[in-house]
Chains A and B, each alone.
Chain A
Amino acid sequence: MRKHKNKFLVSAAASLAFSALAGAASAETLIVASPQVPEGFDGDALKTHTQKVVVQTYENLVVYGKKMVDGQMKNDPATVKPHLAESWKISPDGKTWVFKLREGIKSPYGNELTADDVEWSWSKSFAQKRTGNFIARVSNVIGVKALSKYEVEFTLSAPSSIFLKALTLYVPGIYDSTEVKKHATTEDPWALKWMQSNTAGFGAYHLETLRPDDQAVYVANKNYFGGKLHFDKVIYKEVPSEASRVTLLKTGQVHLIDRPSIQKVVDLQKDSNVKVDRASGRSIASARMNPKCEPFDDVRVRQAFNYAIDKDALNKAVFAGQADIAKSVVPPIVDGYNPNHYPYDYNLSKAKALLAEAGFPNGISEPIKLLYADAFWHQEPVAIQVADMLKKIGVTVQPTRVTTSEMRAKGSPKKMSMCFFTWEDGPIVLDPVYTMYLISHSKGVSNRAAYSNSRVDELIDKSREELDAGKRLAMMDEAQKLWVTDAPWILTTYPATFEAMNPKLSGWVHYPDEHERWRELKMD
């Protein structure tokens, strides 16, 4: 009897060891650990984990060119290359664009991409009035029509310098409308219900199975037009705890994990079983000052606050020294970034002098609330650092927590009622006009703090319709200068993006939407 028991123990231990080994993946399967399985697969519904995977299925008419920078492959904001489209023509007035689609592109269902698919997909986005509609609005698109099997025409209300780059986005995505229509009903004409657990695109991967709260399994599109894919299967596994994700990566059980927090990045960088790639300079962490509130109605106060922040110390304290100091509202990843207009190097005496000039010789003792939420992990530490540093010029700041949804609501274009708050914004289109239109225009959706300068508005409006790259960049340069002199934000840093992966994994390229493309990854 005793012997028997021992045998059982041995076999149990062996089974444990066996399972641990069996967990190691074969070379053709990529295993990604994410906090959550996608909430659905409709790119127009802006849900965090949906966005991460729709880029794998829905590819667009054009893509950015690539360039090597310091040994790292990057997207080149200055060039746009054909992708689903093979060429395009622009009318002399810049309002009509005709794209010729590449022939023979097929979805996993075997249907060929036609101009009807593009027209159907854009109609879907127009009707839903969500993200895709927003992109259409920003790039002045008012209509999309199939001219022939392979020719599709975009009509714009005015020429747009943003339009072509906006077509690199995954939304409005191009759907295999032949397949999707099979699942549409009268109440659900766009088959959104079906898209909750199915995909139909022309891109590299498509959804094979979905187990909610567990995993999504993707397989390669066997008809993919863009060449051989290294991974023929991708398991997108839900592992809610970050500590568990990190352990799984360190032991090689998964190959890629969702963007880790900065503390984990520092830990992972020391581990030889993990590779951490870094890309910098897309978005801006800031404390925004609403010029409609006292004391921010005085530009000297806003400038004084900028001088009073020791950006290097803040970078060290909050971002483990891994971010870059922000010097313009146009981030470095975008064309036309110019840090040379930035005057606010850390200078307490200048800050005090400016405050005194503004009528506050002894500082501001009445507490100013600095709101933060948890939409970005750094909002709270940045608020605390800013409050601490402003003490040195006699300003009392109270960091105050609010919910993310309250912050979004109060920062929406119609309200913009918050006076002082921390936030992060960055463009998903690599274009200075797009960036400034969203962030610095008085009607911009990411303005949030009621910044308004009629000359800046004028420059942005003109550039939106200006197709000559040189002229646009010159106008954006002037706008950056005006903006930084107006100092509506305390610029702090451009937080970096870190992607932690198996050391054998290569080919990662940073996209402005922050999502990796599985089709570009390889295992050595």
Chain B
Amino acid sequence: MNFSQFIFRRTLMVIPLLVGVVFLTFMLVRVGGLDPVGLLAGPTATAEEFDMIRKELGLDQPLWKQFLIYAGNVVQGDLGESWLSNRPVLEDISSRSLISLELLFWGIGLGTLIGVPLGLRAAFNPNGRFDQTTRVMSLLGFSIPTYWLGLVMLFVFFYLLRWAPPGMGRISLMVSPPDFITGSYLIDSLLTANWRAAHSAFAHLILPVVCLAIVSAAPIIKQTRAIALEVIASDSVRYARACGLKTKTVRDIVFRNSATPIITFVGTEITGLVGTMSLIEYVFAWGGLGQYGLNAIVRGDFTAVQGYVLTLALFSVLVFLVVDIIIAIIEPRSELT
């Protein structure tokens, strides 16, 4: 099978998955006991007003009919309107996705840059002092609740030390954001040579990025170490050693052979971390997709929740597709299935 066939097949496989996701989220939000009518109607509403709102939202229709209407709209790229803000969900999600992607990119990027070398180094000398230290560190990273970590970082670096800016979003309130190019305040302000905005955007990125990096680095360290240990124990590496190759050359072989499983793991990490992202965004008032999703769930904004979950599913699929492509490029031996 050649590469384009592979991609085409993969894309086709996404369709039944998405249908399942659409169906499941649609049903789950409705049996979840949330009733947006009560929230919308407010404390002074009469029974008639309840009925009127129910009708306006189409909630008086049987469930299967509601689903058919929704599914029909989704197929045409219409995710509906938020019941609370009356804005199109698709518009909301696309503008926020960029904001979250930026944070995710820097956070996981930093986490990987820290996690992979640490994990490899630990694997080359298992149970040594370095290994022990990184093990404790990664255990800590695993067990710290993200929400708490964010608050503590704000408390220490903003409240006590005054080094970091307040957790009030992506840029200082006193700085006007740069013109829209990529959606990342940092990159856009650098591109437009708006140094003041770049300063502010950079400073605002540090704490949430570090927070996300800590949370993502912990499993990456642990997994990289395990993968590398396995590779070190493999026949090929043992053979290379037996041949008397230089340590550096052996390490290169280990690194090459570990790359595929590590990239796969980082891919799953990215998709797994979107939940953690919500909490980080919440603490730092980041205003991204995670915060949007969390808000929507809390407020019972059905259409927004459905759109959010659907986007996450699509995102996961995309990440895995990209992982597959990267692996196909760096490892031509792998079969395209």
Contact = CB atoms under 8 A, between A and B. Distances in A.
Contacts of A250: 159
Interface string A507-521: 000000000000000
Interface stretch (A389-397, A402-410, A469-477, A495-503): A402-410
Interface in B127-163: 151, 154-155, 158-159, 162-163
B41 A241 contact: no
A22 B46 CA distance: 49
Contact of A404 (B38, B47, B168, B204): B38
B173 A251 contact: no
Interface stretch (A10-18, A63-71, A79-87, A460-468): A10-18
Interface string B200-242: 1011101000000000000000000000000000000000000
Chain B CB count within 10 A is highest, among A212, A251, A414, for A212
B22 to A, nearest CB: 24
A25 B173 contact: yes
Contacts, number: 171
Nearest to B166: A253
A36 B38 contact: no
A31 interface: yes
Contacts of B38: 404-406, 408-409
B158 A20 contact: yes
A196 B43 contact: no
Nearest to A239: B285
B285 A241 contact: yes
B34 A412 contact: no
Contact-size category for B: 35 or more
Contact of A405 (B34, B48, B199): B34
Nearest to B84: A39
A46 interface: yes
B332 to A, nearest CB: 38
A279 B231 CA distance: 69
Given A16-B164, A237-B173, A196 B154 contact: no
B285 A17 contact: no
Interface in B31-54: 33-50, 52
Interface in A219-268: 235, 237-241, 243-244, 247-248, 250-251, 253-254
Contacts of A18: 199, 203
A167 to B, nearest CB: 17
Interface string A24-48: 0110000101001001100001110
Interface residues of A, number: 59
Contact of B84 (A47, A211, A251, A414): A47
B2 interface: no
Contact of A409 (B35, B164, B300): B35
A445 interface: yes
Kindly name the residue among B43, B50, B84 whose own CB sees the greatest number of chain A CB atoms within 10 A.
B43
A40 B128 CA distance: 60
A413 B324 CA distance: 59
A25 B35 contact: no
B173 A23 contact: yes
Contact of B166 (A23, A409, A446): A23
A212 B291 CA distance: 11
Interface in A413-451: 413-415, 425, 445-446
Contacts of A244: 151, 154, 167-168, 283-285
B99 to A, nearest CB: 9
A19 interface: yes
B168 A239 contact: yes
B43 A446 contact: yes
Nearest to B36: A405
Contact of B92 (A16, A46, A212, A445): A212
Nearest to A414: B47
Contacts of B169: 214-215, 237-238
Contacts of B80: none
B166 A248 contact: yes
A130 interface: yes
A342 interface: no
Contacts of B36: 405
A193 interface: yes
Given A244-B151, A408-B38, A20 B164 contact: yes
Contacts of A251: 158-159, 166
8 contacts: A19-B204, A22-B200, A31-B173, A213-B288, A240-B282, A240-B294, A244-B167, A413-B47
Given A248-B166, A413-B47, 8 more contacts: A12-B202, A39-B85, A196-B87, A237-B173, A240-B291, A244-B168, A403-B33, A408-B41
Closest 4 CB pairs of A and B: A405-B38, A46-B42, A405-B35, A19-B203
Interface of B: 33-50, 52, 84-87, 92, 96, 151, 154-155, 158-159, 162-169, 172-175, 199-200, 202-204, 206, 282-285, 287-288, 291-292, 294-295, 300
